[in-house]
Amino acid sequence: MSTPSRPRATKIICTIGPATDTSDMLGQLIEAGANVFRLNMSHSKHDWVREVVFRIRRKAAELQANVAILFDLQGPSIRTGDLAEPYHLKKGDTLEIRLSTAKPELPFSTTVNYDGLLQDVQAGHTMVVDNGGILMRIEEVRPDRLICKVLTEGVFGSRRHINLPGVALRLPALTEKDLADLAVAVECETDYVAMSFVRDAAHIAQLREHIDTLGGRAQIVAKIEDQQAIRHIDDIILAADVIMVARGDLGIEVSIEELPIIQRRIIRHCHRLGRRCIVATHMLESMITQPTPTRAEVTDVSNAIFEQVDAVMLSGETSVGNYPVRCVEVLDSIAHRMERSGNLNFAASAILSGDRQKATKAAISLADSVENACMVVFTRRGLAATQAAVLRPERAAIFAFSNDPVVVRQLALARDVTAFESPFLKNPARMISTALDLLKEKGLIISGQPVVIQGDSLQGELLADSIIFMRAE
């Protein structure tokens, strides 16, 4: 019996920007394999966001594709002030960073947007400016300014981003801009909200409370970007719905040689604690301007897929790059190949704390043990399908059915899950046959193929956590 090939398990997230915000480009990205569209609120106007969300939903419906939307909040970044002209700094120069109320005293002088900075730092701390473009050391902390020595030469412009590796900052969890952007996200019925610079589980709770108050249903992606987050990683994983290894800021905040180790550790903890995981930043950076990735980039992407992450994310590659569709095609090709090449099997260490999780594990074991079998999961809230995804079936694809369109879209970010909206019927046998007919119609299964059916929404004479083995008729 020749069964259909297993769908790609790893999901692809595309950041939308000037290069990809038209209906035609959105359609091309979907057809190339995009599963989630990210809107970076650091650079997005509200009217533009509303229009792009409308285009995404319309194009997805037109193509009968299941696509989720992720709003990525800017978060509480530290930035310098405006300059009339950029400074050309040389090693050994002195620059002052002062409060906005203080007057300049040195030739090289700028302000900062975070008044608490002077209380958080001390002499000897290293300051990383503009994502590693310039390194400085704080020489002196005065009541209204910092005196910094330039360690590496570079051009220092306006509104430069500042990182302070290893320094515990008392920045707010959410800024006024974040709250305004969150209101628009809920208005647009976004599926996910990404929280930048999460430092502990309380930040996740704060965001969730705001979403609930606004009447939203978005799930939360916690971006791991500094050493404070790493210290609280297990608590953050348990508080969030999805974890993002955001390697841009994280790669600045930690020693660069530690970054691959930290990435793998976070992914392993996500598997153990039953949460989804995204790897982001610089996946195919060279393809912003070149049609072919570097060998190092291919290896980097392959390692993330070998670690069995739920998704890999494109940023500038698809927002402003010259080859956005080609980038998705490259990720799709790498993923298909690597998923046939084994994995690190981190899911073997998953903690099964409840009966429902154990039932899902049993269903996966059954599906993996039968040649050519697949799993069909019926789920009201997405929990059963997500649990199946994080336990990482080795051979069986997961097809999920829910009567809630929000749940269906959110499952677009679950590894190995292909989700469909379908009404839940009082007759379980009819509900199952309807689902299997749909899968056959779409060429995802064939008659006679083994199917393991499991769910939290089977009704009638079937128990909620029942497992059924049958062959598609």
Catalytic residues: 38, 79, 223, 281
**DSSP secondary-structure letter at 8?**
P
Q: Coil, helix or strand for 301?
A: helix
Q: Give dist(CA 6, CA 339) in Å, integer.
A: 10
**DSSP secondary-structure letter at 76?**
-
Q: Is the dihedral of CA 27, 301, 197, 229 positive or negative?
A: positive
Name the amino acid, one letter, at 64: Q
Taking residue 5's Cβ as centre, other Cβ atoms within 10 Å add up to: 10
Taking residue 105's Cβ as centre, other Cβ atoms within 10 Å add up to: 12
Q: Give dist(CA 13, CA 461) in Å, integer.
A: 40
**Tokens 């930048």, located at residue:** 196
Structure tokens at 355: 């009966």
- Yes or no: say if 332 and 311 are a contact pair by the CB < 8 Å rule: no
Q: Give dist(CA 23, CA 29) in Å, integer.
A: 10
Burial of 404 (0-12, 13-18, 19+ CB in 10 A): middle
Q: Give dist(CA 382, CA 400) in Å, integer.
A: 8
H helices present in 275-322, as ranges: 295-306, 316-319
Taking residue 412's Cβ as centre, other Cβ atoms within 10 Å add up to: 25
The arrangement of strands across the sheet holding 161-163 comes to 78-79, 161-163, 126-129, 134-141, 145-150, 94-98, 109-111
Give Cβ neighbours of residue 186 (< 8 Å, ≥ 6 apart): 211, 214, 215, 216, 218
Q: Give dist(CA 264, CA 242) in Å, integer.
A: 16
* Structural element, H or E, at residue 150: strand 145-150
Per-position DSSP letters for 288-352, written without gaps between them: GT-SS--HHHHHHHHHHHHTT-SEEEESHHHHT-S-HHHHHHHHHHHHHHHTTS----GGGG---
- Yes or no: say if 68 and 410 are a contact pair by the CB < 8 Å rule: yes
